[in-house]
Amino acid sequence: MASLAFTSSQAVSSSFSSYEQPRASHFGLFKPLNRSHLPSMAANISRRKCAVKPLNAEPKRNDSIVENVKQRCLPNALNYPMLEEYDFRNDTVQNLEGCELTGSPLSCGEFTVVVEEKVKVEDYGKLAKELENGSPLEIIDKALEKFGNDIAIAFSGAEDVALIEYAQLTGRPFRVFSLDTGRLNPETYKFFDEVEKHYGIRIEYMFPDAVEVQALVRSKGLFSFYEDGHQECCRVRKVRPLRRALKGLRGWITGQRKDQSPGTRSEIPVVQVDPAFEGMDGGVGSLVKWNPLANVDGKDVWNFLRTMKVPMNSLHAQGYISIGCEPCTRPVLPGQHEREGRWWWEDAKAKECGLHKGNLKEEAQLNGNGNGDVHANGSATVADIFDTEKIVSLSRPGVENLLKLQNRREPWLVVLYAPWCQFCQAMEGSYVELAEKLAGTGMKVGKFRADGEQKAFAQKELQLGSFPTILFFPNHSSRPIKYPSEKRDVDSLMAFVNALR
């Protein structure tokens, strides 16, 4: 199916006698011929409502997942009768028989016909099976080939240097980013510098929000994670900065291995749609996660590093294997698993900081893994999310009052969530940012925890289908309006709000 847009209400010629070779900046654009070639059929078209685009507007393209479809538009293919097939409301052509699309520009009077490439939806489950026995070099090469500049290697300052070495061996350009939490070991910072010089690259550092870090430290001190779990600190210093980084990408490459953490990483595929974070296009499925080392044993990674004589973090020589922030990492003894050196005061089977939260089964998230505690009666308390003074935490009576009000003083936006839900966690940053933007505008932003005992009520009264569900309560009606999209970035949510308030 091709998508066409017309920039004028002038007539289209019944045939085209010439066309120019496309330039890179005018891909798929038809440029005007001399006006003298136009027949007098303007009246038929001018009565119709056209979708107007600038003359040099390029169609939105996603080169990372676009199939290289050969397109050839024959000069006599778009004749006048075909305009009767044109659906101006949906801006699509219902039938293009005899027209093979190449994206070459055809002259068409004052019309500019935009031919958009056909987008192929990649089956990453199938691709994961195809690459299951592939080498890390082959997998990284495929990732860089598919995503180009829209993918980056996540570098933690440990054995992830193997990813950079493999990327360099492909001969393709690549990007590297790292999360500087502000609490890394001095040896790790020195290692970063050595890696940059060795490979001639610049690591793209992501830092936590200073205001959030300040609020956490002032309210709970520097070492609160030893008492109430590492999740809150990691969320501020690592997860939210990572979310910002990934919003500018369509894919990321990690150093996860199945043997790193049997409780959480034993089933990771070599490539997957990221279950917890969103990419630049927003919504579920907008980010692809590559794990080239998934099937590689740790000892083989180290043999590779030694063979290639790459820089290494000097902490490894002191017994550190898995390296994170200084207060949360320690050396391991011979025979101990490498993850024993991370958050050693917590459950050894579920040690994830939140960067790979999608690895955790829902059962594990609800049964004590550093996210929360399990009480003697079996009930779980999970560290809450959307935790900011800009978002009102609503109880069930509060929500029931919202439902009863016919004329509210202010409109409300409310998210129905479960703190263990990975999709709720993925939208935390965007929802908090939205609340900050709406502060003082006469609009209230709230949250309602709708799992557990509240789930049946939310399903019956609040249109809850899955987590998260976002509702807009207008000030003139008691019936809430459900946000229909899976895109949960700030711009999409703001567009929804502005269209209704």
| Paired residues of 372 in beta bridges | 382
Would you please indicate which residues are annotated as catalytic (active-site) residues?
421, 424
Identity of the amino acid at 54: P
In the predicted structure, residue 5 carries a pLDDT above the cut 50 = no
- Band of the pLDDT at 475, cuts 50, 70, 90? confident
The tokens of 363 are what?
A: 């059962």
Angstrom CA distances, 263 to 256, 321, 389, stand at: 13, 18, 35
| Paired residues of 86 in beta bridges | 93
pLDDT in tens, 138-197: 999 999 999 999 999 999 877 899 999 999 999 999 999 999 999 999 999 999 999 999
Give the whole-angstrom CA distance, residue 183 versus residue 181.
Answer: 5
Give the whole-angstrom CA distance, residue 176 versus residue 167.
Answer: 10
**Which residue from 436, 445, 428, 64 is spatially nearest to 244, judged by alpha carbons?**
428
Domains of the chain: 1-121 (no CATH), 124-356 (3.40.50.620), 392-500 (3.40.30.10)
| Paired residues of 205 in beta bridges | 178
Angstrom CA distances, 481 to 152, 362, 423, 476, 494, stand at: 38, 29, 20, 12, 14
Residues 167 and 194 sit within 8 Å (Cβ to Cβ): no
Please provide the average confidence, as pLDDT, over all residues in the chain: 75
Give the whole-angstrom CA distance, residue 80 versus residue 15.
Answer: 8
- Band of the pLDDT at 102, cuts 50, 70, 90? very low
CA angle 159, 428, 280 (to 5 degrees): 65
**Which residue from 293, 294, 286 is spatially nearest to 251, judged by alpha carbons?**
286
Give the whole-angstrom CA distance, residue 420 versus residue 354.
Answer: 11
Residues in the chain: 501
pLDDT in tens, 400-432: 888 887 677 889 999 999 998 888 988 888 999
